[in-house]
């Protein structure tokens, strides 16, 4: 299934007016959920905390951000890490916005990336993911020095779903999608996506590529359906296409570092697994008003596509949640899908954050006070109750208190 692939957010800004309108509506739709499970019931009785006040992270002459797209906070060092897509590197900063370390850079040399799709922090190391080169680069967290790389492309070629083409599918646009993407756990175990052709979503391997376990069951009802007409017909009926059921992304469990959460954003549901592959539990996520509110009339959308035949519309996976982070207490924080379009006033979507207990129960809901251009790949400082949110086009990092 094709995904929403744009290799630069600047490309979006160069689109025609009609194309931008279509993409705005597309992004409204693909974040929707099955209307049959919707309504204002379920967890809607949990009052939402509106985070109105925020300040902008101080910048200096050395800290010049181009396109900050993903943020992570290290509880051990109390440092913020910023993935700058323009510079193809990770920038580590301290409390005074002083640069502590920089990891990687643009290129094809050791430790360099053509494009940084994601990064992961463990106690001693920082890993960067370059899906274009099929590489995971490993750096020292202490000084930023490059250590080694894992070429996982050769491992993916062994998967059943790549046996016919002998070539892994092209990398997807990373700043709005991290489903079925290589992932590094707290212990440095690598989770590689297997997807279709197997019974599990991820395969756990060590740094040498040796298989350790299969993780994540493919949900019942999944079918690798590629028929565009059937796909849009399913969406028009406000149902999740069967081909989207295998979309999932992992989140580290910071309370029990040997476990992970697996988030199925289209179902949606949360499952907890050990790194040995044992499923501990799974729960469907109850409906909430913020999820229901992003549904639009799919019939009108179908008419819009029909009236704009010049637009080549791909099959865009349904997603409700886009990223997650876990506190040391084991609580899970999931961010909802927002929008990557340049300030579309009619389709502005606020950032929603939902907090779940270690057992997967929804216990709190947060909403940021601004409705424009905020990334769902946020960082959390749980000690000081701060949320760091990047603003794509203004190249800023906003700090909310919760």
Beta pairing partners, 321: 336
More confident residue, 372 or 159: 372
Q: How confident is the model at residue 273 (pLDDT cuts 50, 70, 90)?
A: very high
pLDDT value, residue 33: 37
Beta pairing partners, 217: 200
Contacts of 258 (CB under 8 A, 6+ apart): 187, 274, 275
Structure tokens given for 213: 């376990």
More confident residue, 272 or 299: 272
Closest CA to 144 of 59, 81, 62: 81
Contact (CB, 8 A) for 317 and 50: no
* H-run or E-run covering 332: strand 332-336
- Report the chain's mean pLDDT, rounded to a whole number: 79
More confident residue, 380 or 35: 380
Contacts of 249 (CB under 8 A, 6+ apart): 178, 179, 180, 181, 183, 262, 263, 265, 323, 324
Is residue 172 packed enough to be buried (19+ CB in 10 Å), middle (13-18) or exposed (0-12)? Answer: buried
Beta pairing partners, 81: 72, 92
Contact (CB, 8 A) for 399 and 56: yes
User: Distance between the two ends of the chain, CA-based, in angstroms?
Assistant: 38
More confident residue, 354 or 375: 354
Residue 281 has pLDDT above 70, yes or no: yes
pLDDT value, residue 4: 32
Alpha-carbon distances of 89 from 79, 148, 173, 180, 209, rounded to whole Å: 16, 16, 17, 22, 25
Q: How confident is the model at residue 121 (pLDDT cuts 50, 70, 90)?
A: very high
363: left (phi over 0), alpha (psi -120 to 50) or beta: alpha
Tell me the whole-structure pTM to 2 decimals.
0.83
CA distance 355 to 184: 23
Rg of the chain on CA atoms, in Å:
20
The number of beta carbons lying within 10 Å of the beta carbon of residue 118 is: 24
CA distance 304 to 281: 41
* H-run or E-run covering 299: helix 298-306
The number of beta carbons lying within 10 Å of the beta carbon of residue 68 is: 25
Percentage above 90 pLDDT, the chain: 45
pLDDT value, residue 378: 95
pLDDT value, residue 309: 53
HEC-encoded secondary structure of 192-234: EECCCCCCEEEEEECCCCCEEEEEEECCCCCCCCCCHHHHHHH
pLDDT value, residue 230: 80
CA distance 219 to 82: 34
Q: How confident is the model at residue 371 (pLDDT cuts 50, 70, 90)?
A: low
**CA 252 to mean position of chain CA atoms:** 13
CA distance 98 to 60: 8
Over residues 345-361, the mean pLDDT reads: 81
Cis peptide before 402 (omega within 30 of 0): no
Closest CA to 189 of 131, 275, 263, 261: 275
More confident residue, 38 or 147: 147
Structure tokens given for 360: 């997967």
CA distance 317 to 366: 25
- Please state the length of the chain: 402
Residue 231 has pLDDT above 90, yes or no: no
More confident residue, 245 or 338: 245
Structure tokens given for 29: 């739709």
């Amino acid at each position: 299934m094709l995904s929403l692939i744009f290799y630069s957010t600047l490309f979006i800004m160069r689109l025609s007016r009609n194309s931008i309108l279509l993409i705005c509506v597309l992004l409204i739709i693909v974040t929707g959920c099955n209307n049959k499970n919707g309504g204002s019931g379920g967890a809607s009785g949990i009052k939402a905390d509106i985070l109105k006040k925020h300040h902008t992270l101080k910048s200096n002459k050395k800290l010049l951000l181009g396109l900050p797209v993903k943020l992570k906070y290290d509880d051990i060092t109390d440092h913020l890490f910023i993935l700058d897509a323009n510079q193809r590197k990770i920038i580590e900063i301290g409390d005074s916005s002083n640069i502590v370390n920089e990891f990687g850079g643009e290129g094809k040399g050791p430790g360099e990336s053509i494009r940084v799709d994601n990064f992961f922090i463990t106690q001693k190391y920082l890993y960067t993911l370059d899906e274009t080169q099929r590489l995971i680069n490993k750096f020292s967290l202490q000084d930023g020095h490059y250590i080694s790389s894992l070429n996982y492309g050769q491992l993916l070629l062994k998967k059943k779903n790549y046996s016919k083409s002998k070539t892994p599918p092209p990398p997807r646009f990373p700043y709005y999608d991290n489903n079925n993407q290589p992932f590094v756990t707290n212990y440095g175990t690598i989770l590689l996506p297997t997807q279709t052709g197997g019974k599990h979503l991820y395969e756990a391997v060590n740094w040498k590529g040796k298989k350790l376990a299969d993780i994540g069951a493919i949900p019942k009802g999944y079918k690798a359906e590629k028929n565009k007409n059937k796909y849009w017909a399913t969406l028009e009926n406000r149902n999740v296409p069967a081909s989207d059921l295998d979309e999932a992304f992992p989140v580290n469990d910071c309370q029990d570092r040997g476990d992970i959460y697996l988030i199925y954003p289209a179902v949606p549901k949360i499952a907890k697994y050990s790194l040995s592959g044992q499923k501990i539990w799974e729960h469907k996520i109850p409906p909430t008003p913020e999820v229901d509110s992003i549904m639009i009339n799919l019939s009108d959308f179908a008419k819009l596509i029909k009236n704009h035949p010049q637009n080549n519309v791909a099959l865009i996976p349904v997603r409700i949640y886009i990223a997650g982070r876990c506190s040391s207490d084991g609580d899970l924080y999931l961010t909802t899908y927002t929008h990557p379009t340049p300030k579309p006033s009619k389709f502005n979507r606020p950032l929603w954050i939902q907090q779940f207990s270690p057992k997967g129960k929804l216990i709190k809901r947060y909403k940021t006070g601004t409705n424009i251009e905020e990334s769902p790949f946020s960082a959390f400082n749980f000690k000081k109750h701060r949320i760091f949110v990047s603003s794509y086009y203004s190249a800023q990092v906003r700090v909310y208190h919760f």
